[in-house]
Amino acid sequence: MNKLKKKILILPIVVALISILSLVAFSFIYEPISYKPYNTFLNDLASNSVESVYYTTSPKITVKIANNVYYETDNPRVDTFKESILTQGVEVLEQSYMSPLKIIPIVLLGSSVGFILIFMIKGSNLSKGKLKSVDSLHAEAVEEMTLNFESVAGNEEAKESVMDVVDFLKNPEKYSSYGAKMPRGVILYGEPGTGKTLLAKAVAGEANVPFYAVSGSDFIQVYVGVGASRIRQLFKKAKSHGKAVIFIDEIDAIGKKRSGNASGGSDERDQTLNALLTEMSGFAEKEGIVVMAATNRLDMLDDALLRPGRFDRHIEVSLPDVQAREKILNLHMKNKPFDKININDWAKKTSYFSGAKLEHLVNEAAIFACKDESPLIEDIHLDSAFNVVVAGHEKKNRSHIREEDRKITAYHEAGHALISLIVLPEEKVSKVTIIPTTKGAGGYTMSIPEDKLYQNKEYILNRIMVLLGGRAAEEILFGKEKITTGASSDLKRTTNTIRNMITTYGMGDSLGLLTEEELGDLSHHHKMAILDECKNTVDTLYASVKDILKENMESLHCISNNLLEYETLDEEKLINCTIKNSENKKLKEI
Ligand code: ADP
Ligand code: ZN
């Protein structure tokens, strides 16, 4: 349909271009109308040879005499002019003269431009672009057919859970003959990049039905009522094809829990949500339409969405474990020329990587190999890619960095690394560098966390200490006045983690086992108590971090000096520094 539209547009565009060209050519070729004195005109008038006069208020008038000859003469500007020539039987045209050779291309140009404009306005459905994604879905739907469950590595439970949705899409009649109700709505939830969209596409591909994708954010921030009508259009379109998978990404944008005070919600969102619910209950069982939606957080969604008959099947798509990571890496490396790569090793190194991040890693490695003109992608390329994925590209031009800043960065990173080695010895610190990245970090310390299902309180506190290590080292070495902005993202993460401990994980005293979210609006008094507890926790941890660093000053100097010399240190060099100063003091209990 879209291609056809484009073809239809070609004709008026060509006509418009030809018209413009002929107008330009015309103005070059055509000789301007000759000028004759007013007396000549009067003579012609007297001899009855004037056929018509083009009479306007302009200084010149155009005169037509026999044999289609035209000339210009001066406008006499007398009130009785028109009457006097009319009485002599001359036609008076109150318009300026235009050659028919010019009129034709102008008319053609005008009508083709008009045609194009009307077509474009109609095509865009008067919307600001977004609705086009619904319009242009058909083409996309065909493309996606190629994906199937083989394109999704790992995620076995999730695949298992959608298997019968595929079966239902293939034979909706079978299910309805048993009186079985199939889910109309499936919610896929999990962290970004874990393959929720991929899984939905695979369902459509396996069932061989069209795939309609929209994003919840397309429906908000438009005029009231537009969101709802977009929903209706989407369903109408999908139904016109019979079976289909409708995929709504970021469903939370329209289906977020309504806030406590009922009147305060956004009307537009409610209307859109209601339209969605109405449409979903509107189609018959045997129609074979399944709505799949994705969100990062299931607990944010409005209960109305999750009720039976709506999105009643909830499937978690989780971050891949080490085996799944190996499968995903294998899948994405399949068609690339890799050399002796130990994929199992890389799967181990990439804990907490999502499928999308793994794909990104493999792709970056391929780019590095290509830049090197290496025939095969090797471990070193994956190494560089890993750094890029985790920390961003290295800044190439570093000449402008002041020596003083390099030193501060070196101690800051040494602080992180040293605290990590001491309080989290089971985690490998794979790299410390003071090479700034294009993402804005002055340097970074990279450690490889273990795959863990849960994080316990002790571990979380230790992680916070590692985060605080950078600022603490700065303060110890250069004094309170010289601390820098370099720690801002560390402090942000610290604050976030501590807050979560107290308000969400039930690990604090001010709320105990209660969670802030469920309690709703807290009184000022309670908010202050939470704030106090956050502040005390971070102060205590910071004090311990400073103590640990002071007790291990030699290691700190050693790591920083090495960093200043080599810029980047691996695990081995780091351990060398700490071995010399090996009696690690026991952590103070908090
Ligand atoms: P989400 O919708 O959960 O944010 P996507 O489905 O958009 O994630 O994933 C982005 C890309 O990451 C996919 O197109 C795919 O290439 C890759 N990917 C993610 N998970 C997997 C997986 N389990 N197997 C293979 N590729 C994956
Ligand atoms: Zn830092």
Angle, CA 386 vertex, CA 384 and CA 391 arms, to 5° = 100
Q: How far is the CA of 569 from the centre of ligand 2 (A)?
A: 16
Report whether residue 326 contacts ligand 1, using a CB cutoff of 6 Å.
Answer: no
Query: Which residues neighbour 173 within 8 Å (Cβ) at sequence distance 6 or greater?
Result: 286
Q: Tell me, what's the pLDDT at 582?
A: 60
pLDDT at 4: 56
Of 196, 250, 359, the one to substitute when testing ligand 1's pocket (max ligand atoms within 8 A of C-beta) is 359
| Among candidate residues 98, 109, 99, 102, the one with its CA nearest the CA of residue 19 | 109
Q: Is 357 in the pocket of ligand 1 (CB under 6 A)?
A: no
What the chain holds in terms of domains, given with CATH numbers, is 2-102 (3.30.720.210), 149-316 (3.40.50.300), 337-391 (1.10.8.60), 403-589 (1.20.58.760)
354 CA distance to ligand 1 middle (Å): 8
pLDDT computed for residue 122 by the predictor: 59
Please check whether residue 45 is in contact with residue 85, taking contact to mean a CB–CB distance below 8 angstroms.
yes
Q: Which residues are catalytic?
A: 413
- Angstrom distance (rounded) from CA 305 to CA 277: 7
Which residues of the chain fall short of a pLDDT of 70?
1-7, 29-32, 121-145, 221-224, 258-268, 284-286, 580-590
Q: What is the DSSP letter of 260?
A: S
For 27, the token pair is 């103005």
Distances (CA, A) of 411 to 261, 473, 474, 476, 542: 51, 6, 6, 10, 16
Are the C-beta atoms of residues 306 and 187 closer than 8 Å to each other?
A: yes
Q: Is 359 in the pocket of ligand 1 (CB under 6 A)?
A: yes
Q: Would you state the pLDDT for residue 468? A: 97
User: Is 197's C-beta closer than 6 angstroms to any atom of ligand 1?
Assistant: yes
- 473: tokens are 């080292």
**Residue whose CA lies nearest to ligand 1 atom number 12:** 356
Task: Decide: 183 in ligand 1 pocket, CB within 6 A.
Answer: no
CA-closest residue to ligand 1 atom 11: 356
Closest CA to 127 of 216, 227, 246, 213: 227
* Residue identifier of the C-alpha nearest atom 6 of ligand 1: 195
| Ligand 2 centroid, distance to 442 Cα (angstroms) | 9
Measuring from atom 27 of ligand 1, which residue has the nearest CA?
355
Kindly give the number of the ligand 1 atom that is closest to the alpha carbon of 195: 6
CA separation for the pair 403, 405 (Å, rounded): 5
CA of 248 to the centre of ligand 1 (A): 16
CA of 319 to the centre of ligand 1 (A): 11
Distance from the first to the final alpha carbon of the chain = 67
- The reply to whether ligand 1 has any atom less than 6 angstroms from the CB of 418 is no
Stated pTM of the model = 0.64
pLDDT value, residue 116:
79
- The pLDDT value given to residue 145: 59
pLDDT in tens, 8-23: 778 888 888 888 888 7
Tell me how far the alpha carbon of residue 255 lies from the centroid of ligand 1, in angstroms.
Answer: 23
Question: Ligand nearest 361 Cα, by number?
Answer: 1
Q: Is 152 in the pocket of ligand 1 (CB under 6 A)?
A: yes
For residue 413, the ligand closest to its alpha carbon is 2
Does residue 355 line the site of ligand 1, with CB under 6 A? yes
Q: Evaluate: CB of 469 within 6 angstroms of ligand 1.
A: no
Q: Which residues are annotated as a binding site for ATP?
A: 190-197
Give the pLDDT of residue 552. Answer: 93
What are the angstrom distances between the C-alpha of 351 and each of 194, 397, 490?
A: 13, 31, 21
Of the listed ligands, the closest to the CA of 357 is 1
DSSP conformational letter for 552? T
Residues 239-272: tens digit of each pLDDT: 887 888 999 999 988 888 766 544 445 666 778 8
Residue in 498, 459, 491 with CA at minimum distance from that of residue 475: 491
Q: Which ligand has an atom closest to residue 489 CA?
A: 2
Contacts 24+ apart (CB under 8 A), 263-267: 266/220, 267/224
Which ligand 1 atom is at minimum distance from the Cα of 190?
3
Numbered residues of the known binding site: 190-197, 412, 416, 490
